[in-house]
Structure 1
């Protein structure tokens, strides 16, 4: 049965308009974005399949784009890509409103959304001023699934370009295991020593996996 044949009070769009978006399930919200289903599958069923294929809402939000699947044509795919990117940018905007970062949790959600589902390792940096307000974000280095080659000289140049007083590093582990490796610890110390030469402080290095990002500062590794 098509959603148009459901009782009007049960249709996702009508429920959203009368009761608010919070009243809808994840699949129903996706159905509103999709606009319509496909032959033999209504938009809510398509939303459920998308969530299942994408590994759940968190994985879908963190990924670079929604998974391609039967029935998800170019228009629907583009609409979802745009919606997910808007959500990721909203996370970033929270960091750019001038409030200082006082805790690893403040930046963890944003960094996880940006890095978690890359198929290869990516090393990124949040640049901060002397009050720990965000100046910018960059993905500096990309590698294979086995690791990224990070050059301290380039990190120093990037910090000078942003006129940063402090930085928070982050990189993902495509395996999903966020435990810092011995190489991660060595690299962090090398970068800290290099940045001390230009009076830039390394506040943290977050390792992003499938769960909560691991703060190396909280582990006492910086």
Structure 2
């Protein structure tokens, strides 16, 4: 006698266990990460519910949403049950979350510490696979006048034009600057190139009465401050 096959459709679950209904009944905070992703993808496969599939995807990145956000459409479609449309939905949703974090960080208008700089820049740089070099131009009250991406490079470095950095400082009437770049490798140790460019920009700024307040190296979870470590 054949054993009756089990249906993995969420429609067969108790109404209180269905992600959409659960969200409507008890609020978004009550849902697990897997349940939220299940709502995005809508369905699983023949042998796996959307929630189970979502749990398997999350397990592949140690249940880390930041790591999930780094997966490409191609990488996501390697999971059985995830086609291109579902993968695009996941990628787009996580990108919206990243941009939301960025908007929250932009509410910090006045820089009071290296931590403030990290909170502003981590959403922009923390999980990038390549290096970017940014400058924050500040007023005499340390309010942000402008944030400029000075260069974008590869995995191990980026070229920085000192003249362009100072040209923009003069254009926005900046009194001070803070340098920020990321290390995709995750290391917080400044390289000799990091130290050299810091000194070059500091020296160039001093000739124009524009002070270099700090240089931060940003990773996904932490940062290194030249000022805090006495390297300026």
Q: TM-score range by the shorter chain?
A: 0.7 to 0.9
Per-residue deviation at 1:152? 0.8
Instruction: Name the counterpart of 2:41.
Output: 34
Residue in structure 2 matching 1:178, options 183, 188, 192:
188
Instruction: Name the counterpart of 1:190.
Output: 200
Aligned-residue CA RMSD in angstroms?
2.7
| Runs of 5+ unmatched residues, structure 1 | none
TM-score, normalisation: structure 1: 0.83
Residue in structure 1 matching 2:65, options 41, 50, 57:
57
Instruction: Name the counterpart of 1:168.
Output: 178
Deviates more, 1:1-10 or 1:36-45: 36-45
Residue in structure 1 matching 2:226, options 208, 216, 221:
216
Per-residue deviation at 1:153? 0.9
Instruction: Name the counterpart of 2:27.
Output: 20
Instruction: Name the counterpart of 1:102.
Output: 112
CA distance in 1, matches of 2:168, 2:200: 16
Question: What is the 5 A alignment of 1:4-153?
Answer: 4-54=11-61, 56-61=64-69, 63=70, 67-70=75-78, 71-97=81-107, 99-153=109-163
TM-score, normalisation: structure 2: 0.80
For the residue of structure 1 that corresponds to 2:186, the secondary structure is coil
User: Taking structure 1 as reference, are residues 5 and 208 closer, same or farther at Cα in structure 2, changes over 3 Å only?
Assistant: same
CA distance in 1, matches of 2:10, 2:204: 60
